[in-house]
Amino acid sequence: MRRPLIASSLLLLGVLFGIAVGHRSALSFQTATTYPIKVKNCTTTPDPKVRNTVDSVEWAVDRQDSAIYIISFTQAGTPVNPLENNAIPIVSYLSPDRPHRISVSNCTTHDCYYAYKLVSISFGQSPSQAPTVTLCTDPGIHVTPPGGLYYFFFRIWTWFAGA
């Protein structure tokens, strides 16, 4: 009676150990996708739906738009930044953005929404004019972690790893 219990426990332990050790290499097999977010006249399109743990977002300002944009994440008045290393992108047409990897470990449900403020700073034609600052509306970023067993074991691994 004890022998099947010990054997099944060792088998389960081996599977969990294999997942824990192979977790980092398993992530490398996912294809990374960079979702471009176009900014034009204080409006962003599209509303990206990030899926994999290696996906990135990147803001790109339209050629005719001369404003500088600051992207600041907040959720119910509290800073909740889904970008890796808590980056705060500042972009313009002349200063393009780089891809920012999404940290899915911040997402504890199957569908997370990260709102952000898009602040536009426009400068006048002459140096004596004060800059115009505008708060733009934006849909935010939707994050849907991978589902099924992968998501279950990913959450277990992040809990064990202390992430």
CATH of the domain at 39: 2.60.40
- Does some domain include residue 1? no
- Does some domain include residue 25? no
At 82-135, the pLDDT tens digits run: 788 778 888 988 888 888 888 766 566 667 788 888 899 998 777 788 889 999
At 33-75, the pLDDT tens digits run: 888 999 999 888 887 888 766 788 899 999 999 899 998 887 6
CB contact at 8 A, 152 and 60: no
- Does some domain include residue 22? no
Q: What pLDDT is stored for residue 114 in this prediction?
A: 81
CB contact at 8 A, 23 and 15: no
Domain range for 72: 31-161
- Does some domain include residue 114? yes
Q: How many domains does the chain have?
A: 1
Give the integer Cα–Cα distance in Å for 117 and 135. Answer: 7
Give the integer Cα–Cα distance in Å for 2 and 10. Answer: 12
Give the integer Cα–Cα distance in Å for 89 and 40. Answer: 16
Q: How many residues does the chain have?
A: 163
Q: Which residue has the higher pLDDT, 130 or 139?
A: 130
Q: What pLDDT is stored for residue 121 in this prediction?
A: 92
Q: Is the confidence at residue 144, as pLDDT, over 80?
A: no
- Does some domain include residue 107? yes
